Structure 1
Amino acid sequence: MEFWAMVAHESDSGIVLTRQQVDEDFLGPGDVTIKVHYSSANYKDGLAITAGGGVVRKYPIVPGIDITGEVVSSDDDEFAPGDLVVAHGYDIGVSHNGGYAEYARVPADWVVKLEGLSTRDAAAIGTAGFTAALSVQALLDRGLTHEAGAILVTGATGGVGTVAIDILSGLDFEVIASTGKTDANELLSEIGANEVIGRLPEDPAAKLRPLAKAQWAGAIDSVGGRSLAYILSAIGYGGAVAASGLTGGSDLPTTVMPFILRGVALIGIDSAYVPIEKRREVWAALGKELRPQHLSTLERYAPVTEATTVLHAIQSGTHTGRTVLGVAGEF
């Protein structure tokens, strides 16, 4: 079997993503072979085609940390030809060929059957939306309800931020969206944000206080750094922050005050190595009670052959929402 793939290669000028015909041996090990319908564009995929990006262990590789499609063969009884599935995380697109190809092969314990979602819906949600769902679930598990007060979402125009706003709004939370993009108010309001504010803290040079006036019951943060430190100081008693990113830096210049005087919880969110049973539970919820209501608003579409352009937009900070990359029929 021969098929088309977008393959990242090292070259003298950096990492180049090229359209290439490959054979079945290129798929690598795995129990489940998937005909890929869609993948998506993520910041991590952008790093995979960036020299010194630090995520890919060895080239050449097919990027695409999200895979959605139809099972064509399986050595595991859990899956049968025709099953619609999603696979993401683990080593996909990092050291194991990912979704930017007509076919993918992965271990069965990386695969989730879709319930209540199409393969395109699942690609629109993708790793970013799954991370958002994990973050929302973490706040719910903490005991936060919509009666507790507003939830802040930082990095609000990104993949995690937009889906988090959409899910929280569907659960009747008051949502405050924080973004540096002044032209995003209409979109963020449309998907459920009750208020849109700028980046935090408002004065980037201001000295951070150990405790600020309590403003939010909780937060979903994909920025980190000084922004996260400021947010922690302004969370109300018994609140929580689900943190999944560090675009604002990995340092956290905070004190123990929010934790010991207000009982605030800082919950780290990892999506790459979530155990498969938990992963399947969250995806089932994404097809039901945590289902985003505005995927068609958040989603953009591009053929996978245009992945380089989309990924550069994500890295430059000009991209908003989620881009589904069509694979089937696009080569």
Structure 2
Amino acid sequence: MAVLEFEKNIEELSKRIEEFKFFSREHGVDLASEIERMEAKLQNMKSQAYSNLTPWEKVTLAKLIERPTALDYIERIFTDFIELHGDRNFRDDPSIVSGIGKLNGKAVTIIGQQKGRDTKENLKRNFGMPNPEGYRKALRLMKQAEKFGRPVICFVDTPGAFPGIGAEERGQGEAIARNLMEMANLKVPTVSIVIGEGGSGGALAMAVSDEVWMLENSIYSILSPEGFASILWKDSSRAKEAAGVMKITAEDLKAYGIIDRIIKEPAGGAHKNVDETAENIKKTLEEIIPKLCENEIEELLNKRYSKFRSFGEYEE
């Protein structure tokens, strides 16, 4: 049964349970055993629906408009966040939010690719597709963090860098390439977390980090399944098949050593309980950031270099 059909049945059963509870309270009728039986059935349905999602179902969850954005996590995980704007060259790019905040009282630099929560905001945020000035803003904040010794935390969520003519004219390729080079040599601890879509070089430009994590139902790939199917098979309708071939899920990428950790999501996806998902991210950051900070800079850079040089050395 498809996830969407499961969700419809789960929603209907949840409403029925609430109706039984209301009736029991209002009329003093003992329905405890029936409610308990229905709640057990509901839990079983949730387990069946989300325990073995296909790659395509995870693609669907990663792209949901309801899925939490970078700002949703920033406001829940950090305190005293101050957003900083502009690349000091061309303009500010709303598809990347960046600034300084505190994680348990320690100053950190936070950079996130930001999608909109509705159509109007998506237009403002360019659907989370950064222009070159967005990547240059991100780099400006990274170099500032390096100057003041602040760890850098990146939230990755983009279908890819914006492919418009203007973006290309202003040096999209160069901006991405420079971020890759500079992040590889950044002299502070860095963590990147894929929270939704991690598409192409647009995602990689913010993911050359000491630790790269993915939320359980996020995806990370060289391009979209639709694009993959169009290029390889000349048929975009085979996107569902392509999703299985591409190995874009957190489990696949963890097995290949591309990412370091998988962050657990609530049943049904991060949008079902944003607070719980944010708490899972925060706990992991609280564990890992201090450990990264214990490393000497030279040791940190060597580990980062070895990590990315080792890609492709896994056994089939």
TM-score by length of 1: 0.30
Higher helix proportion, which one?
2
Q: Which has the higher strand share?
A: 1
Structure with max Cα Rg: 2
